[in-house]
Homo-oligomer: A and B are copies of this chain.
Amino acid sequence: MPRKPEYDRDDLILRARDLFWRQGWAGTSLKDLERELKLKPGSFYAAFGSKDALYALALQRYAADGVARLRKLADELGPKAALQTQPRLVAEGAGMPARACMLAKTYAELQAKDHDLAEKADAHLAEMRACFSALFRRAQEAGEIGRPHDPDRLAARYQSDLLGLRLTAERNDVDALAIAEDIAADIDRL
């Protein structure tokens, strides 16, 4: 029977995700990945098949973690408070490799070329939006926000605002926390 790999595949995907998240698709070369993951080209291709395949895994992991974090927040604080806390956490950006959304960055970079990864990012964004929508609906059912609003529309606006905030928070001459507070305050007015 065979030899076992020396690396932890899941950890490699995580490290690759952080690198792709920061530097983007074209901005991350195989040399970069080999250095970061400590993998020679042969091992890299045996493990993942291609740069794009690894990027797809990284995207998937990014989206799954995002959904999981939001669900956990909603379980602890309730739907409305979760939606209000999310922008604050994003603005602080503690422990994240970058503020801007990796899905948005991927989509923006690759959409014009009809790249497969842009479609995947798009799908993950839709998934996130559905998640927001569900939280707004739950907040309505719990009486935390008013009924007349369409949860899907609220979710679309909320996601748009979050994407803007995350992009803005990447820069250093803007008070991202103030914007986060304003987004949270908007939810109080619903």
Contacts and interface: CB of A to CB of B under 8 A. Distances in A.
B163 A175 contact: no
Contact of A98 (B23, B105, B112, B164): B112
A108 B170 contact: yes
A158 to B, nearest CB: 10
Contacts of A54: none
Given A161-B161, A164-B160, A27 B171 contact: no
A126 B27 contact: no
A27 B179 contact: no
Contacts of A122: 171, 173
A125 interface: yes
B23 A112 contact: yes
Interface of A: 22-24, 26-27, 98, 100, 104-105, 107-113, 122, 125-126, 129, 153, 156-157, 159-165, 167-168, 170-171, 173-175, 178-179, 182, 186, 189
